[in-house]
Copies of this chain bind each other. A is one copy, B any other.
Amino acid sequence: MRFSPLVERLMEAFRVLPGVGPKTAQRMAMHLLERDREGGQRLAEIVSLALNEVGYCQRCRTLTEQPLCALCESPRRDDALLCVVESPADQLAIEEAGGFQGRYFVLHGHLSPLDGIGPEDIGLDQLEARMAEGGIREVVLATNPTVEGEATAHYIAAQLAEQGVTLSRLAYGVPMGGELEYVDGGTLSRAFNGRLPFRSE
C-alpha cells in the first residue's frame, strides 16, 4: 500500500523544491492535508501568481513584478557605480552587508559553454547597451569566486576593456570570524599573497 494516487502526486510534486527528499515531501503533504489546508491553498495561489507575474527588471534584470525594480527607480543611488552579480540572492547579500551605494546588473547565472549558456543568455548584450549610455565610472565584477564565476568575470572584463571604466573584483581572503585551521588552501594562499600592512586602529 501507498497513499491514494492524488496524495502520492502531491508528495511527488514537492520534490521540485530544492533539498526536499521523499521523507520531507511526505511530511509537507501530510502537514497541509491534516493541519493547514487554508495555508496550503494560499501557498498554491501565491506560487502560481508569482511565477506568472514576476519577471526581470528592464534595467538591471533582477526579479520584479514591475517594469523597473525599486532599486533602479531609487534616486538615491550612485549611477557611476555598477555591481555585476550572478543572482538576485547575491545582490541581496551585498545589500544586506551594506556599504555599496551604486546600481546592480544581474546575470541570472554564469557563462557555461558546455550547457549552452552563452553571453546573450546572461544578458551581456544588455550590459553592453547599458555601458554605452555612459556615466559609469567603475564596474565591480561580483560574480562568485568559483571557476565559472571567475571565467565569467574575465569574459566581461575583456568585453568592457575598451570602455575606459575601472573594473574591480571583490577581495579574496580569509572570511571574518573563521578559524585558519579550517580555511581551504586556495583561499589561504590567496590571502597570504594579498596580505596588507598591519594597522592598529
Please determine whether B44 and A40 come into contact, CB atoms closer than 8 angstroms.
no
Alpha-carbon separation in the docked complex, A31 to B4 (Å)? 28
Interface status of A70 (Cβ within 8 A of chain B): yes
A87–B30 CB distance below 8 A: yes
Q: Is A130 located at the chain interface by the 8 A CB criterion?
A: no
Kindly provide the distance from the CB of A155 to the nearest chain B CB, expressed in whole angstroms. Answer: 21
Contact A42 B16 (CB under 8 A): yes
Instruction: Tell me, rounded to whole Å, the shortest Cβ–Cβ distance linking A165 to chain B.
Output: 24
Assess whether B13 is in contact with A19, with CB atoms less than 8 Å apart: no
Interface residues as binary, A58-79 with B (CB distance below 8 Å gives 1, 0 otherwise): 0000011110011100000000
- Residues of chain B within 8 A (CB-CB) of A88 are 3, 7, 30, 34
**Interface contact A9-B46, CB-CB below 8 Å:** yes
Majority-rule SS of A interface residues: helix
Number of A residues whose C-beta is below 8 Å from B?
A: 55
Q: Is the CB of A33 within 8 A of B51?
A: yes
Q: Which residue of B lies closest to A9 (CB)?
A: B46
**Interface pair B89/A10, CB less than 8 Å apart:** no
The answer on a CB contact under 8 Å between B47 and A40 is yes
Pick the contact of A66 from B4, B19, B30, B33 — CB < 8 Å?
A: B4
A45 touches B43 (CB 8 A): no
Contact between chains at B5 and A65 (CB < 8 Å): yes
User: Which residue, A4, A6, A48, has most C-beta atoms of chain B within 10 A?
Assistant: A4
- Measured CB to CB, the closest approach of chain B to A9, in angstroms, equals 6
Cβ contacts under 8 Å, A174 to chain B: none
Nearest Cβ on chain B to A147's Cβ, whole angstroms: 20
Supply 29 A–B pairs (Cβ within 8 Å), ascending by A. Answer: A1-B70, A1-B92, A1-B95, A3-B63, A4-B64, A4-B66, A6-B49, A7-B63, A9-B50, A13-B42, A13-B46, A13-B47, A16-B32, A16-B36, A16-B42, A17-B28, A17-B32, A29-B50, A30-B88, A30-B89, A32-B50, A32-B51, A33-B50, A33-B54, A34-B87, A34-B108, A43-B44, A44-B48, A44-B51
